[in-house]
């Protein structure tokens, strides 16, 4: 059995510092990347114990460094691949486990967002998270999710899937680890992953005849949105009709690109693939601005949590 382990970072068990998700922060290299790898190793180990013949890790976190999971730390039978989740069935993947997952945008929770800051998504009236989008795209059973408590409470149509809570939200910028240290967390994640594989997971049908809606914080018209088939409904809101979820691939990429555009100078200006590379540019004004922007985002009121006026709310 070939199992894909979809790894994100914001819902990692010991990630107390939200700045650790960003490659332009020293805490990413000192803590965040190591913590993410530890949870991934634990989950992969559990999947192998549960009967997986092979585990493929999909690094689904965007930090500014393309390789957040340290491949050399993975056990035998586990490797990192850059497969798009829409192509997993084509690669012979039998099931997926999600690790390090966080709540969607619109939920008052630790580093909550949907794919990128400033983007909210809804399908046939349901506000969706990254768990929804990737589960529907994969088209194979979802074994379980490891992550944030608020994510579990707001899963909606995925609400019955096995879930291991490893962090409890205190605020947008703070969480409390469920497990006292990395060792205890690893044991629990491994046990959960093994049990989830043995139980077989759950299959969720992707939406058909779906109305896909996106709301962007930016009020700038994005040519990429209309080029990908979106219809602009208001200054910041778009919609598209999809016959099947497989057709969401290009519109989703366009919405992510439009929402992340104002953040791209912080991620794309410098090469940030090692701590040494970071140190060479650490004090660059654009990266200082990025840190300030991220801190402001964490502390913002996030009106989408309470707004009743937006189509996507």
CA distance 79 to 29: 21
- For 182-220, how does the pLDDT look when each residue is reduced to its tens digit (9 = 90+)? 999 999 999 999 999 999 999 999 999 999 999 998 766
In this prediction, residue 223 carries a pLDDT of 77
- For 125-144, how does the pLDDT look when each residue is reduced to its tens digit (9 = 90+)? 999 999 999 999 999 999 99
Q: Is the pLDDT of residue 306 over 50?
A: no
Residue 69: inside a domain: yes
3-class DSSP state of 211? strand
Q: Rounded mean pLDDT of 243-249?
A: 95
Residue 298: inside a domain: no
pTM (2 d.p.)? 0.94
| Burial of residue 186 (number of CB atoms within 10 Å: 0-12, 13-18, 19+) | buried
In this prediction, residue 109 carries a pLDDT of 96
Side-chain-side CA neighbours of residue 274 (13 Å): 3
- For 280-290, how does the pLDDT look when each residue is reduced to its tens digit (9 = 90+)? 999 999 999 99
Residue 18: inside a domain: yes
Residue range of the domain that includes 156: 2-103+130-199
Residue 212: inside a domain: no
Structural domains counted in the chain: 1
Q: How far is CA 99 from CA 63, 126, 244, in A?
A: 16, 23, 26
The 3-state secondary structure of 60-83 reads CCCCCCCCCCCHHHCCCCEEEECC
Looking up residue 149, the CATH number of its domain turns out to be 3.40.50.10780
């Amino acid at each position: 059995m070939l199992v894909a382990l979809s790894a994100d970072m914001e819902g990692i068990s010991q990630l107390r510092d939200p700045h650790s998700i960003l490659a332009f922060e020293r805490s990413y290299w000192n803590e965040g990347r190591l913590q993410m790898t530890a949870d991934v190793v634990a989950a992969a180990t559990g999947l192998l114990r549960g009967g997986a013949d092979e585990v493929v890790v999909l690094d689904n976190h965007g930090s500014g460094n393309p390789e957040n999971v340290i491949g050399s730390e993975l056990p035998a039978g586990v490797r990192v691949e850059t497969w798009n989740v829409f192509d997993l069935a084509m690669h012979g993947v039998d099931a997926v486990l999600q690790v390090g997952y966080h709540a969607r945008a619109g939920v008052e929770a630790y580093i909550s967002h949907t794919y990128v800051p400033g983007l909210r998504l809804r399908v046939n009236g349901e506000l969706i998270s990254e768990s929804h989008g990737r589960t529907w795209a994969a088209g194979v059973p979802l074994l379980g999710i490891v992550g944030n408590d608020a994510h579990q409470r707001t899963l909606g149509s995925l609400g019955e899937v096995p879930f291991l809570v490893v962090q409890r939200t205190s605020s947008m910028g703070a969480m409390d680890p469920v497990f006292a240290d990395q060792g205890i967390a690893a044991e629990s994640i491994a046990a959960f992953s093994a049990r989830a594989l043995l139980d077989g997971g759950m299959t969720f049908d992707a939406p058909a005849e779906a109305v896909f809606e996106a709301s962007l914080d930016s009020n700038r018209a994005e040519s990429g949105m209309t080029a990908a088939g979106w219809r602009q409904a208001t200054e910041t809101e778009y919609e598209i009709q999809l016959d099947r979820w497989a057709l969401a691939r290009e519109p989703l990429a366009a919405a992510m690109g439009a929402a992340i555009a104002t953040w791209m100078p912080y991620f794309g200006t410098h090469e940030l693939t090692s701590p040494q590379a970071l140190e060479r540019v650490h004090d660059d004004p654009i990266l200082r601005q990025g840190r300030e922007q991220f801190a402001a985002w964490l502390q913002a009121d996030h009106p989408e949590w309470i707004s009743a006026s937006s189509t996507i709310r």
